[in-house]
Structure 1
Amino acid sequence: MSLKPRAAVAAALLLVLSAVGCDSGKETPAGGGPQNGPIKIYYLQKQATQDYFIGEAAGAKKKAADLGIELVLVDLGNDTSKTLDSVNAAIAQKARGIVIVVPDPSVGPAVVSAAKAAGIPLLTSDDQICVNKPSPADCAKADVVPRIGFSGTQMGEEVGKKAAELYLASGWKPEETRIVAAWKQDVSVCGDRVKAALPAFKAAGGPDIKVVEVGTDNTPTDAANKVAATVTANKAVKNWIVWGCNDENVTGGVTALENAGYRPDNIIGVGINGDLACKAWSAGKATGTKATLWLNGGEVGALAVQSMYDKIKNGKEFAAEAFAKTTMVTPDTYKSAGLACG
């Protein structure tokens, strides 16, 4: 999930921060009461070629077909500078509603301002954005735009519990073990996941183990590079637990450890998403990734489209957050759970 420099949106942010002020995130998705006529919804996604977001798009398309509405999917890639242009293009094309997964939360206030000025309901999926601040972590709860996705705290708790279960079965000693936590540290939903993992690990019987925090851009390559440096600085450690924001971070971390000579038996990686873990497992090669919390993107896409339809057609207000279900899977259970590798 590499990100381009934020300079491209800086000017827009300076203009909108004062204009947006303290408007509530719940007021931002405009559109008034029930509306009649054809419904066209734009769904703008970062990284639309990633398996998770492909599934999300498929769920959104199916729900739109069921509802008899037009859905336009836009791939933002990792291009923060493309985001506002795509929002303005959707407005120009008479979108009745916009659902967005931003490449970077810093563009949030500009997106909010554009949608509000056009009187178009705005809903986020997966990642949060704030009405008046670049970082949702610094945002008042009332100023976070309504979101469809997963509970970051619950996800982190599931990761921590599974990691504790696997650790207790490993026979490792605490003093010979480290936890590496890898995530993009300005993405609030990532922070929610990582912060919840350690308390859940301990509550499930895990001992006190030193945690090494690693900042990444949420891609496997960057996670591998950053964790490799961590491993070099901790050569005496025999065993590693790896968790983070997503499969990308865990896969990168596991790769770095394996490249450094650690055997899969000395690594417990617990991911989130399922896409990269699934590919590793289906290849039949032993890996340090021992489990992943599968996020069914199709359910998020469908729920986002349904929520937007209900807002436009019936004037039903968005919930501040609405969550889809998650499923913890392993190499032995992922197929029966329904996780298919792309």
Structure 2
Amino acid sequence: MSRPPFLSTPSCTVAVLAAIATLGACTTQGPEMHRTARISVAYIQKQGDQQYFRDEAAGARARASELGVDLDVVDVGTDAARTLDAVRSAAARGANGVVVAVPDPALGPQLVRIAYDARIELLASDDQICADLDDPSVCARQKLVPRVGFSGSRMGEAVGRRAAQEYRTTGWKAADTRIVAAARMDLSVCRERIDAAKLAFLRDGGQVRTLNVSTDNTPDGARSAVASTTAAEAGNPEHWVVWGCNDENVEGGIAALRAAGVAEADVIGVGLGGYLACRGWQHGERFAMRAALSISGREVGALAVQTMYDKVRSGRPFPAEAFAPTAMVDPETWRASGATCD
């Protein structure tokens, strides 16, 4: 096999950390792979107990079944060490490729090294990772690991626009309103969503004081963090707008405000995911979650498996990013949109 361009240095360490298209170029898979050989893929997931990731696993399994791919889905929770071990184990078992939804983007350089050394394909799912830096938000574009998921900026913009639309219809005054932006702020994908939502709201709704709340992206974590932050807020705001990195943050934020005695009518929640928002809507309930951007974990899981299959089976290059579709839904439109609610 000829040496790919990015391996022009004599140092293997430098070569690995300089890689990104490295992984596909360095494996033995591709067009020459025997057409009848079964492909083995490991899907390493964080937070597999969350609905979105359960859906993602289901979509991955369904597509793997259609394609005849041997798929192993591994839930590593939020454990970085388990993530690295799971990728090493997949390589030791002879997997052709690994799809990873990382619990911590700082794992990127280590994951790239493991995949390179094992000569297997690596594809990021959901969260961005970088070949040579802990923080993908400052990574050179050519060193970002190919990713399947959603566009954070587009999602955040859609949430901010809808929140501004809801806000404008209320007649609330900016002086009496606060925005809660809840997310795991050390994740670049979350910061991207939150920042885009702020800009879109500012453009469409005007200037409103925003409280950035750092959470663990779970409902309980968000509820606790939002409760602490809002309790300390001066000015006794009457009205609240809540958005976040996912539905879990918005649900937790709404719960914190409810527990503090804020009426549902004084809260505008715009979710990101739709998989939790719809649970109240499907029973005809009207509550503070006014709308949500519906995303399909099933589609991301299926797309990731298909993308890996195409690379391993036929050598088709990974796209730098592949995005699944999204749609803004509310209590009146979510059923018609085709969104499912498990």
TM-score where L is the length of structure 2? 0.90
Shift of 1:234: 2.3
Shift of 1:127: 0.7
Which one of the candidate residues 6, 12, 19 is aligned to 1:24?
A: 19
String of CA shifts for 1:114-170, please: whole Å, max 9, x gaps: 111011010011011111222212322221110000000000010011001101111
Match of 2:147 in 1: 147
After superposition, residues 1-342 of structure 1 pair within 5 angstroms as: 22-29=17-24, 30-32=26-28, 33-34=30-31, 35-36=33-34, 37-203=37-203, 205-234=204-233, 236-342=236-342
String of CA shifts for 1:289-310, please: whole Å, max 9, x gaps: 1111111111111111111111
Is the Cα contact below 8 Å between 2:17 and 2:113 reproduced in 1? Answer: no
SS of the aligned residue for 1:287 comes to: coil
Match of 1:14 in 2: none
Moved beyond 3 Å, runs of 4+: 17-22, 282-286
Shift of 1:283: 4.8
Percent sequence identity is: 47
SS of the aligned residue for 1:145 comes to: coil
Is the Cα contact below 8 Å between 1:20 and 1:109 reproduced in 2? Answer: no
The residue identity in structure 1 corresponding to 2:289 is T
Change over 3 Å in CA distance of 1:112–1:234 after alignment to 2: same
- Separation in 2, partners of 1:232, 1:19: 49
Is the Cα contact below 8 Å between 1:254 and 1:288 reproduced in 2? Answer: yes
String of CA shifts for 1:18-50, please: whole Å, max 9, x gaps: 656641322234425322222111111112232
SS of the aligned residue for 2:148 comes to: strand
Is the Cα contact below 8 Å between 2:38 and 2:68 reproduced in 1? Answer: no
The residue identity in structure 1 corresponding to 2:226 is V
- Separation in 1, partners of 2:86, 2:128: 18
- Separation in 2, partners of 1:60, 1:245: 23
Structure 2: any 5+ residue segments left out of the alignment?
1-11
The residue identity in structure 2 corresponding to 1:195 is D
- Separation in 2, partners of 1:82, 1:107: 11
My pick for the range that moved more, 281-290 or 139-148, is: 281-290
- Separation in 2, partners of 1:94, 1:206: 53
- Separation in 2, partners of 1:308, 1:173: 50
TM-score where L is the length of structure 1? 0.90
- Separation in 1, partners of 2:138, 2:13: 16
String of CA shifts for 1:252-271, please: whole Å, max 9, x gaps: 11111111111111001111
The residue identity in structure 1 corresponding to 2:268 is I
Is the Cα contact below 8 Å between 1:28 and 1:145 reproduced in 2? Answer: no
Is the Cα contact below 8 Å between 2:45 and 2:102 reproduced in 1? Answer: yes
Shift of 1:66: 1.7
String of CA shifts for 1:269-324, please: whole Å, max 9, x gaps: 11111122122333554421111111111111111111111111111110110101
SS of the aligned residue for 2:336 comes to: helix
The residue identity in structure 1 corresponding to 2:21 is K
SS of the aligned residue for 2:233 comes to: coil
SS of the aligned residue for 2:276 comes to: helix
SS of the aligned residue for 1:28 comes to: helix
The residue identity in structure 2 corresponding to 1:335 is R
- Separation in 1, partners of 2:256, 2:53: 26
My pick for the range that moved more, 244-253 or 19-28, is: 19-28
- Separation in 2, partners of 1:90, 1:19: 24
Is the Cα contact below 8 Å between 1:247 and 1:275 reproduced in 2? Answer: yes
- Separation in 1, partners of 2:40, 2:124: 16
String of CA shifts for 1:186-237, please: whole Å, max 9, x gaps: 111111101111221233x302111111111111112111111222122510
